[in-house]
Amino acid sequence: MRSHEIFQRMSPALAAQIFTFLQTEQKPVYKAAIQGLANQRNLRGVFIERKPPVERFPWMRAALGRNASDSLASHLLQAWLLGANKQMLCDFLDGMEIKHEDDGTVEELPPAPLKEKIASAVAQILAKYPAETVAVYLHAFRDMDSAVQWPALDEILAEEPRLKLEPQTD
């Protein structure tokens, strides 16, 4: 699942959480996102910024859900995951026994681990964090490094009902 598809399928509430975090904690990223989305629609960024969040956030989620916004959607997911969810990332990587930086970044991912190891690490983070947040993380993790193929993770994402991101209707 590509990043723009994650935005299509995440709940409006989670999208609002992401945008609120970025707006308060990652202001330059948030402003760049608004400007990028505005440019795609031939709008001025200030037009979007002036909308109240109840209108702005659904508009941003819909705009990020378009294929043309995939790289921007990926960047925003990374900023949110590494900023607001680094402990979850670290917990998953610890469960996988993958060396990582304090912020949850990894220099190089190992080749495909066993399904049991991935399933155990996924179960650990599902027990500790909201299922939709875990689902977004794992789908984004899967999309972020296309050179690394983890078929077992694909199977787990397909089999575990709590990790399914269903299309949203607003």
* Amino acid sitting at position 71: S
Q: Where do the structural domains in the chain lie, given as residue ranges?
A: 3-84, 86-163
How does DSSP assign 66-101, residue by residue?
SGGGHHHHHHHHHHHHHHH-HHHHHHHHHHHT----
Average pLDDT over residues 141-166: 88
Decide if pLDDT at 108 tops 90.
Answer: no
- CA-atom Rg of the chain in angstroms: 16
CA distance 89 to 155: 20
If one counts every other C-beta atom within 10 angstroms of the C-beta of residue 164, the result is 14
pLDDT at 84: 96
The pLDDT tens digits of the residues spanning 9-27 come to: 999 999 999 999 999 999 9
| pLDDT over 90 percentage in the chain | 84
